[in-house]
Structure 1
């Protein structure tokens, strides 16, 4: 039996996750929409919807997903009223409601399997596993110096280079934790540089992990990008052309010398562990290193506060949150 497990693409922003999303969406059996914004905020707002065993509460949840401006449900181009009725008729869990949205999107394309892509999901793997216990994660890793160089040039990125360095460090650190504790069939890593240099070989290995046959259309995602990604999103402009290695190592021209030193001083161990070579750049200044450490401390404390709140909140959940839609989800429910 072919898999119907959900697929989540994660990684540091500017790692090539949009390209990988398009590659997966090009597969004949897999649909991965543009980024949505209802899974994480919906999880943290779950108490406002109440006990989902009650129809009125499932309807409230469905209406929030379909109508709230921040959820980006419109990106799925689904009939909102029909979706709400599907949620009302579906299993009474939060994960099921989210899964119905993605499953409906996949059905638009006649595909049996769905995925979701949002780089920051690397922070929320535990949450996603609560919602989708059979999820498979694909972590795309790119040279941290290229990620930092690209992030600081993005019109939507309003942080400084110290935050950008932390973004990549966190993505790698979280990835290491996931690799250690998740089953081999639930977590997979690949490098942007390898994917762009040998897309057919890397995508074939990825498909084997996902339990799918390789589809040659995956290696030509630009056909799909030209139809789905607006030209005005200049930061995704590279997806409109053929897969290329031209952007690998672009940091050499895009980072200032002090920024190269900062990246290689703070990220050295992680870069080497991921297979990237260091230069002979001098050590970064103590003030720059201290700025990175200060940002890291603030972000770490904020995550810990959120984790504590969530652990406490789990004791007062009105019902289960795990989806009850896929073959494995239903079989685990039966065994329980």
Structure 2
């Protein structure tokens, strides 16, 4: 059973945190292009951007919170301290590197992006009820295809699953300051959308023109063939693609057939359990539809 989410009292954070109301976490799957937004925000006056991923939650804070939630008994962390006292101490620990970054640059705001943080979105939201969370989205078929490159060495089903899991984790959040940005839209209209985002975040700057110009000079993110990984996303997570206004299509028949072959083979080996539960009867319907289309075409 999933443990209850931990939520720091916002008033406790207000009185103790050096970054209260001044932290920005960018949540995005690798190969989304979130680094571009990080650099754009970091170029604004009063904003310090972490030069490298902090991995605060994926390699540190997350483990502390796991021990608190999962270790029962009086000798465990949960038996040694009050929940709010513990959460505030963890918050101040998480604040430390970001507050030091902001102080070193004389900035009010600190923004960071770590690729593994979408999996810890609930923990970030619970520990930072006052922070700004920016969910950067890119077409999952493109992201999954790129995650199969030699750099990542992911099998297509695992590349697809990472994008799917990340989007569901962030989309399910309940947070007062959660913003969603499609990277394709930001790159197509950098000044207008960056200005809207900066205003929504509460960052006070006279102009975003220079940051937007630098963002625009980078151009569009290069597309690759969706391949098998993209076909898995298109099949399993078409509801997510629709939620973020990505159109259907663009998947070749051979890629779709290979995707189904991989998913079926993986499920018989017990590997694709989570993909199977995500797919459900809707994807079965899509499989039947695709098979019917193929038979019709063959006839």
Tell me if TM exceeds 0.5: yes
Q: Which residue is equivalent to 1:195?
A: 186
| Distance in structure 2 (CA, Å) of the matches to 1:18 and 1:158 | 21
Q: Which residue is equivalent to 2:92?
A: 96
Q: Which residue is equivalent to 2:30?
A: 13
Q: Secondary structure at the match of 1:284?
A: helix
2:262 to 288, 292, 296: 288
Alignment of 1:102-251 (within 5 A): 102-155=98-151, 157-178=152-173, 181-183=174-176, 186-213=177-204, 214-221=207-214, 242-245=217-220, 247=222, 250-251=223-224
* Unpaired runs of at least 5, structure 2: 1-19, 69-75, 78-86, 278-299
Q: Which residue is equivalent to 2:17?
A: none
| Distance in structure 2 (CA, Å) of the matches to 1:17 and 1:122 | 12
Return the TM-score normalized by structure 2: 0.67
| Distance in structure 2 (CA, Å) of the matches to 1:150 and 1:116 | 23
Q: Secondary structure at the match of 1:8?
A: strand
How many Å apart are 1:29 and its aligned residue? 1.4
| Distance in structure 2 (CA, Å) of the matches to 1:300 and 1:289 | 8
| Distance in structure 1 (CA, Å) of the matches to 2:263 and 2:271 | 10
| Distance in structure 2 (CA, Å) of the matches to 1:278 and 1:145 | 10
8 Å contact 2:187–2:220 — kept in the other structure? Answer: yes
Return the TM-score normalized by structure 1: 0.60
1:174-226 superposed Cα distances (whole Å, 9 cap, x missing partner): 23212xx322xx1000101001101111111111210123532322457xxxx
Give the root-mean-square deviation of aligned CA atoms.
3.1
Q: Secondary structure at the match of 2:179?
A: strand
Q: Secondary structure at the match of 2:111?
A: strand
| Distance in structure 1 (CA, Å) of the matches to 2:118 and 2:101 | 23
Query: May I ask how many residue pairs the two structures share in their alignment?
Result: 231
8 Å contact 1:265–1:284 — kept in the other structure? Answer: no
How many Å apart are 1:133 and its aligned residue? 2.6
Which structure carries more relative contact order (alpha carbon 8 Å, separation 6+)?
1
Q: Secondary structure at the match of 2:172?
A: helix
| Distance in structure 2 (CA, Å) of the matches to 1:92 and 1:260 | 41
Matched, 1:22 2:39: yes
